[in-house]
Amino acid sequence: MIVVVLSIVLLILAAWIALGSLPAGADAHMPLPYMIALVPLMWVPSLAIAIVALVMREWGLLCLAIAVGLASQMREVSYWSHWSPSRDLLGLLSRTNAGDASNTGGAKTRKKPAHGQRSTEELLADIRAARRETEINASETASDVLAQRTSSSASFTVMTLNCRYGRASAKDIVATVLSRNVTVLALQELTADLVRELDDNGLDMLMSYHQLGEDKETDNGGFNGIWIRVDPKSAERSAVPIPAADVPSVTLQVDPMRDITFASAHPKSPMRGCRDWSAGIRGLGRLAETAKRTDHDIAVILGDLNSSPDHPSFRALLKAGFQDANLSLGEGRRATFPSWIPWPRIVLDHALATKGARFTGVESFPIEGTDHLALVATVALD
């Protein structure tokens, strides 16, 4: 009897996992988006049943449990496609050695306080110092600056963060932009108060150019915004119409024949309407279509896309012409929600780019006051 019950449970789990293979748009029905988001966790009950089967020496049940557990990880493998234990070990050793070297011999270096411990005055002083250094380093002729900015080997550090109804720490955000030398910053769930706090903490000095979406009552948690360090060629309040908050964008000319457009996006969550959720995710694909029509142009989407590669709607967005930073690097799963528990987190926040750009690094980390981790990636031009 126990074997029959556990077999039925495994068949239910297998059917649950199969939901991730529905056609794009078919996942736009409650509660499918949430069920599909949990597919990567189906190995947990499968493992429990496998252990029971092993104890009972029920080999058929054991094989079925293993098969179901592996099926739940089918799309997770791509997050680790380039992972190497030896490379990770070497990286750990190099970081450890670097830390040891900084603490031995010679004069001791003063450790900077954590973001949360720095006063606004200290942060602003650091920003002014960074601006003075930038002005000194950029004292070449205008043509030299342009040549450097439009180099075919240029790379950009980009960052995206869901600000949780405007509750994220403005000081923490600005300090992170400064310490990580972020070129493009995309924020979601903004409020007018948070934008003012960001400027009070020096973001307008670090990033003089920005574009905000319109603040509307129909926004999902707040409006979106995007900031950039250099003067953009153009900016739009909403680069593509989707049934969610505006998708503000800035476009930078990288060479005489090519532009790169950065957009901050936040499709609705399924609880705000499954149809709008799916339509919003798939609708972002029009940015890739626009880039294709203009031949060499590049589009980069940054934001909380409320979906993962397990969702058919998200895979449709990738098929439109985007590559995902996490998937393309294959160096590990950068799950970003919720921030307060290390497991089980799910993948919601993304950095995507079309042909002509590639990702060379990606990292997630906490920012005070929000339930999402920030995602930082490095975009290099091909």
Residue 184 sits in a domain whose CATH number is 3.60.10.10
The rounded distance, in Å, linking the Cα atoms of 225 and 376 is 16
**Torsion angle of C-alpha atoms 370, 372, 378, 382, degrees rounded to 10:** -130
Whether residue 351 sits in one domain with residue 228: yes
* Local confidence pLDDT in tens for the 382 residues of the chain: 899 999 999 999 999 999 999 999 999 999 999 999 999 999 999 999 999 999 999 999 999 999 999 999 999 988 887 654 544 444 444 334 434 433 333 333 333 445 556 677 777 777 777 666 655 444 443 334 344 444 556 789 999 999 999 999 999 999 999 999 999 999 999 999 999 999 999 999 999 899 999 999 989 999 999 999 999 999 999 999 999 999 999 999 988 889 999 999 999 999 999 999 999 999 999 999 999 988 789 999 999 999 999 999 999 999 999 999 999 998 888 999 999 998 899 999 999 999 999 999 999 999 999 999 999 999 999 8
In a domain, 302, yes or no: yes
In a domain, 199, yes or no: yes
In a domain, 107, yes or no: no
In a domain, 89, yes or no: no
Whether residue 122 sits in one domain with residue 45: no
In a domain, 80, yes or no: no
In a domain, 265, yes or no: yes
In a domain, 296, yes or no: yes
The rounded distance, in Å, linking the Cα atoms of 226 and 302 is 9
Whether residue 280 sits in one domain with residue 188: yes
Whether residue 25 sits in one domain with residue 121: no
In a domain, 297, yes or no: yes
Whether residue 259 sits in one domain with residue 138: yes
Whether residue 49 sits in one domain with residue 122: no
Could you tell me which of 223, 181, 229, 234 has the C-alpha nearest to residue 204?
A: 229
Q: What are the distances in angstroms from CA 364 to CA 167, 301, 356?
A: 19, 16, 24
Whether residue 239 sits in one domain with residue 188: yes
Whether residue 217 sits in one domain with residue 132: yes
The rounded distance, in Å, linking the Cα atoms of 176 and 126 is 12
Whether residue 119 sits in one domain with residue 70: no
The number of domains in the chain is 2
The rounded distance, in Å, linking the Cα atoms of 280 and 164 is 19
Residue 215 CB contacts under 8 Å (≥ 6 apart), including other chains: 191, 192, 222, 223
The rounded distance, in Å, linking the Cα atoms of 177 and 365 is 13
The rounded distance, in Å, linking the Cα atoms of 285 and 301 is 10
Is the distance from CB of 359 to CB of 155 less than 8 angstroms?
Answer: no
Whether residue 67 sits in one domain with residue 132: no
Whether residue 174 sits in one domain with residue 29: no
Whether residue 215 sits in one domain with residue 296: yes
Structural domain span for residue 171: 115-381
